[in-house]
Amino acid sequence: MKIPFPFEPFIVFGYLAIFLLSGVYLRAKFRFFQHFLIPSCLIGGILGLVFISTGIIHPSSSLLETFTYHFFNISFISVGLTYTGARKEAGAASKDLLRGPLWMGLVEGVTISMQAIIGGLFVILLNLLGLRLFPTFGFLVPLGFTEGPGQALSIGKVWEGLGFAHAATIGLTFATIGFLFAFFVGVPLVNYGIRKGRATYTPRGLSDDLLTGIIPKEHPGETIGKLTTHSGNVDALAFHIALVGLVYVLTYGFILMVGKFMPPKLASMLWGFFFFFGMVIAFMVRWLMGKFNIQHLIDPGLQRRITGGSVDFLIVSTVMSVQIVIVWNYIIPISLIAITSGILTTLVVLYLGNRIWSYNLERTSAIYGTVTGTVSSGLLLLRVADPEFKTTVAVELGLMNIFAAPIILGSMLLVSAPVLWNWGLGFTVLIFLAILALSLSLIKALKLLGPPRF
């Protein structure tokens, strides 16, 4: 039978939806997943990967990667469109809202450079032993761990066009391993800290709805937002999604235009930074709406649901995009780099987190989840230590990106130096070593590091 319309993209989206729902069910029913607070999207992604690897389903790997890339971009555009409003704090709380994000931003600078150094040194060593790895192979670990699956895929796809075969799949593999560290190492560490009395506000225990991931029917629940347009004209959700679409097209046109004035290699790298340009243009659109006094049409609650939903589907598609056959061919370098990076990242974050002035467990939990997964996993670990978000750390985690941006954006460009500017891998590693030293020096100079507290 001839099918009159192309269905494959929507069938693949249907697979993502089915496995996300399967993850919701498994999280609600099995204590193992509840104990480690494994999110439904990660459970569903792993289940989907099993189905693909055993040949039960055959979704297009390129479509899975495409969904991962675009959901990642959408999440950042949606963040840019979300108006949070000014939050006024006084006294010590106001000071913490500066020092806390600054500390977390510099810790992120430490981890991304350290992971790049580990990856680069392993590639140098393994190439000497005859493995013949692409120069930027090891730099996929900081992209996958500290930056998350979206960046690993975006930059990996660009590198594939520059001769690095299967870079996207390898990057997504590192990102998936990072999530495993975030939850299977992070959750036990946070629980250990709580048992030792290191939580500022000792949790009485996690609620059943957080453990199972399901709000019981007798619970009134929380509203997700308010209507800003009349349903007789346009649905409010459709309006918010349309704003995301507007920014997407503007970003696409901007990158096409700018790329015409750049060398081909550098122009191709712009597509790996689509998320960043999208977020900046989203900020501009929101600013213009404010100038025309229509910013109130953007409801933060609805916009956050678009962000959260895109991240959930992003993680499902990330894990399902991993191609086991390709991973197996690189199992030795992936294992060595990922495990070493995970262990050292854990030790460094614990060392630095044990030497800050306050909220040690809360800040350590938040930044550890972020530099091994995403901001979402950082918030989830924070919620274990601070279930009601009584500390300022949740807000600090959002503000962290302001301080981390220069180091992170510079590092994301630096990881491509061997293919963009033909830098030697050893020289690039030395530059990352300088960034690591600078980040640690700033932590010390700004008095964000003191004696051990426990």
Task: For 51-87, write each residue's pLDDT tens digit.
Answer: 999 999 999 989 999 999 999 899 889 988 986 554 4
- Tokens representing residue 361 in the block: 């467990």
CB 154 within 8 A of CB 273: yes
Report d(CA 17, CA 371) in Å as an integer.
27
- Scanning the structure block, which residue is given the tokens 């991304």? 112
Spatial neighbors of 166 by CB under 8 A, at least 6 apart, are: 160, 323, 326, 330
Tokens of residue 121, six digits? 């040194």
Query: Tell me, what's the pLDDT at 270?
Result: 87
| Model confidence pLDDT, tens digit, residues 146-167 | 988 888 998 999 899 889 999 9
Domain that holds residue 375: 8-84+99-203+226-445
Amino acid 151: pLDDT: 87
What interhelical angle do 149-161 and 300-321 show, nearest 10? 50
Q: What share of the chain is helix, strand, coil (3-state, %, to 5)?
A: 75, 0, 25
- What is the model's pLDDT at position 218? 77
What's phi and psi for 329, nearest 5 deg?
A: -65, -25
* Closest-CA residue to 309 (of 13, 3, 96): 13
208 found inside a domain: no
Using CA atoms, how far residue 100 sits from 194, 344, 404, in Å, is 20, 22, 12
3-state secondary structure of 26: helix
For the chain, give me the number of helices (H) and strands (E)? 21, 0
At position 257, the amino acid (one-letter code) is M
In a domain, 20, yes or no: yes
Task: Report if residue 92 sits inside a domain.
Answer: no
pLDDT of the residue at 93: 54
Q: Rounded CA gap, 52 and 446, in Å?
A: 50
Q: Is residue 369 part of a domain?
A: yes
Residue ranges of the chain with pLDDT lower than 50? 86-88
User: Could you tell me which of 399, 410, 341, 342 has the C-alpha nearest to residue 366?
Assistant: 399
What is the rounded CA–CA span in Å between residue 401 and residue 407? 10
pLDDT of the residue at 46: 95
**Within a domain: residue 291?**
yes
User: Is 75 inside any structural domain?
Assistant: yes
Tokens of 203: 């949790």
d(CA 425, CA 136): 8
- Asked whether residue 394 is assigned to any structural domain, the reply reads yes
Q: What pLDDT score does 119 carry?
A: 97
CA dihedral in degrees (431, 435, 437, 440; nearest 10)? -170
Residue 395: count other Cβ atoms within 10 Å of its Cβ.
Answer: 18
| Tokens standing for residue 444 | 């010390």
Amino acid at site 356:
I
How confident is the model at residue 302, as a pLDDT?
92
Q: Looking at residue 86, what is its pLDDT? A: 45
How far apart, in whole angstroms, are the C-alpha atoms of residue 15 and residue 250?
A: 30
Nearest-angstrom CA–CA distance, 167 and 134: 9
Q: Which residues of 126-144 are buried (b: 16+ CB within 10 A; e: fewer)?
A: bbeeeeebbbbbbbbbbbb
CB-based contact 142:441 (threshold 8 Å): no
Gyration radius of the chain's alpha carbons: 22
* Number of domains forming the structure of the chain: 1
Residue 93 lies in a domain: no
Place of tokens 């974050």: 349
